[in-house]
Chain A
Amino acid sequence: MKKVVIIVLIAIAGYMVWAERAVRSQGTAATAPAPQRRELTPEEKRGKAFYLRGETASGKDITAVMNEIDVPATTLPCAGCHGARGEGKTEGGVTAGNLTWSYLMKPYGHNDEGGRKHPAFSEVSFTRAMTGGVDPAGNKLAVAMPMYRMTQEDMADLIAYLKRIETDSDPGISDTSIVIGTVLPEKGSLSGMAQSMGDVLQAFFAEVNSQGGIYNRKIELRVMNGDASSTVSNLKHLIDDEQVFAVVSGLTAGAEDGVATLTREKEVPFIGPSTLLPQRGLPLNRYIFYLLPGLKEQARALTTFANKKINAKSHVAIVSPDLEFNRSIAATIQEQAKKAHWSSVEASYYPREGFNGERYVDELSKKGVDTIFFVGSGVEAAAFMNEVDAIGWTPSIYMLGSLVGRNISDAVSVKLKDHTFLAFPTVPTDVSEAGAAEYTGLLQRNKLTSSHAAAQASAIAAARILVYALERCGKDLSRERLVTTLEGLYEYDTGLMPKITFGPNRRIGALGAYVVTIDPEKKLFPATMEWVPVE
């Protein structure tokens, strides 16, 4: 497992090498006191759980009765129709009224759209409406409003919360601040990168704040350092104790499962985690927004690209180290190959130590293989390529740039240059002039040095997207609103990476990969490149 983590981290460093620029020093990371926000009372908290999700403190189900059908209140919670803030809404011709207590109590009563008239509610008449389905004038409520079988205690909790709902907000928001968290392990091989990313994040948000912040709220960044092995507990600390509103960027590779579970469970948006293995299981985790494709998405783009060159006579070999991590990528390629009905596909796995390039090249070339997907490390790939070149063989070779690293360009010979294809999540030309200027400007104004430039760029990109979405949310900010706003992001240009698009079913901003070829004479930049989207 540890080995996997290391590979992942090296790989990140690998693709992050594609972008370079200016200067850096130490940034200071002052932590401000927690924002002023009155905590909910235990009563209000219980009421909120019922309002939002139909849950009770006792764990005993409350029954909602609609048209004489009993369903648990968890299927028909108040917020489903009346909105998370009690504002009310209309759908399917059914209007669910405003439930904020100040509205219910309006002394002159209500004239509902359907023509129903009644005086103001009181706690007693509200209870009667909830349990008996009649308004204060004794009219029957709309048929879509269930009757709830609930105890007096549960009702008291709910009323307590409705009195508070207008001034309740998600954690991390006050009138003057939005608290954002990030996890940047500082120990081991990551310390330099963590420091560089932390510096630019602090600087970026400080500049946003100095320009007035977001609707007069300043962004307060809480950074958790520590060890990479405590990523999940660090994140938990940020959410539970520091009460962050959302999480941005950071180094969380190796803890993908834990991070995904935690954000889903706590419903905390996380924008731009760095990982090569985005979690894409169903049902979709609504809270994580990845910017770049992971290795599996890149492998899929590579096979999609290769499909154009493959015909019925092609003989495909997948060569991978016998490691769980690499095998999972090999499996993705196999899956895609099967979907595309490639006729001849074989996979072979070599022991983790002592890759014998000569033997493999000999074997595969004799078998008549003409297409190779190489899923090993850069050193192994280079050894393999050298052997291929030595015997004058020219099969098509497909590799993941993030796995083999950019030094692979040294192994691409003139003979092989038109036969070697590498997938990358981002390429230098993604950095626009404006993006580069913003990056260097940020560093210069804040007296920072460019180090781990690609990691810094990815941190800035994530922060930019967060700030952009927060601005679009407006003053009435909530986590739910942030998530739906991010879902509306279409081809957003950070100037630092491919354009970012999210959607209700899409949580990877740049969903696809560049497939590039290398010119051995001008190693730094791709000779040709093509963005290949995946679905």
Chain B
Amino acid sequence: MKPIFLLVTFVLFCGLVYGQEQAGPKPAQPASLQQAEPATSSSVKSAAEKYFSDVELIDQDGKKLRFYSDVLKNKVVIINTFFTTCTSVCPPLNRNFEKLQEALGDRLGKDAFLVSISVDPETDTPTRLKDYGRRFHARDGWIFLTGKKENVDWALYKLGQYVETKDNHTTIVIIGNEPKGLWKKAFGLAKPEELVKIVEDVIADRM
């Protein structure tokens, strides 16, 4: 069998595909999402907003962020999953993110955002995330996310990255251009220059 390190990239989901059920385990829907929608919503929710939802997450500075509106909306995002006590694949995964950060230079935080989501939110407090980010010289524009477990699980689920045990988290990087609805997946341990290429394609909205 051909090993998987041949970079697999493909369109993950776009436009009409939002809302499709994920295969595999599904976490419970957070209570905050189960309330009825206010009837007089001034703006009509986009498909993406409905799909991803606005669960509350917390970044490395302890700031509360809404998943869709603050993390994804109108941005190009490069997302991986990790946990701070992981000693095996997470360090190289985030080392690759550090390389992406270098490659993006001043464009980080403008043209694209790096987003690392913890799969162990109960352990990974904002302080731990902050400390972890320092190890990879993370700058503004690279955010680390934790939060209530049910919220983080839901966000991960919507990205197809929900796992029941933290050791099962994937090494997949998701690169999305939210306004254009272009989403790609890449192997997180690929060579940085290959990742950069995909990121550039997504920024430029090239399939």
Contacts and interface: CB of A to CB of B under 8 A. Distances in A.
A and B associate in one complex: yes
Interface of A: 66-69, 71, 75-76, 79-81, 89-94, 96, 114-115, 140, 142-144, 146, 282-283, 503-505
A505 B127 CA distance: 10
B89 A94 contact: yes
B174 to A, nearest CB: 14
B125 A67 contact: no
Contacts of A282: 127, 131
Interface of chain A, main secondary structure: loop
B95 A94 contact: no
A142 B187 CA distance: 13
Contact of B95 (A71, A81, A114, A115): A71
Interface residues of B, number: 30
B86 interface: yes
Contacts of B198: none
B170 A143 contact: no
A143 B3 contact: yes
B85 A115 contact: no
A505 B87 contact: no
B3 A80 contact: no
A114 B1 CA distance: 7
A282 B190 CA distance: 33
A95 to B, nearest CB: 10
Contacts of A67: 96, 189-192
A194 B127 CA distance: 38
A31 to B, nearest CB: 37
21 contacts: A67-B190, A69-B191, A80-B87, A81-B88, A81-B89, A89-B88, A92-B169, A92-B170, A94-B88, A115-B1, A142-B3, A142-B5, A143-B190, A144-B89, A144-B92, A144-B189, A282-B127, A282-B131, A283-B131, A503-B123, A504-B123
A104 to B, nearest CB: 19
Contacts of B191: 67-69
A142 B171 CA distance: 13
Interface in B164-179: 167-171
Contact of A114 (B3, B96, B131, B170): B3
B91 interface: yes
Most chain-A CB neighbours within 10 Å: which of B1, B85, B89? B89
B92 A66 contact: yes
Contacts of A69: 95-96, 99, 191-192
Given A144-B88, A504-B123, 15 more contacts: A71-B95, A75-B91, A80-B91, A89-B167, A90-B167, A91-B169, A92-B88, A93-B170, A94-B189, A96-B88, A114-B3, A115-B1, A143-B5, A146-B92, A504-B85
A197 to B, nearest CB: 34
Interface in B57-111: 85-93, 95-96, 99
A79 B87 CA distance: 8
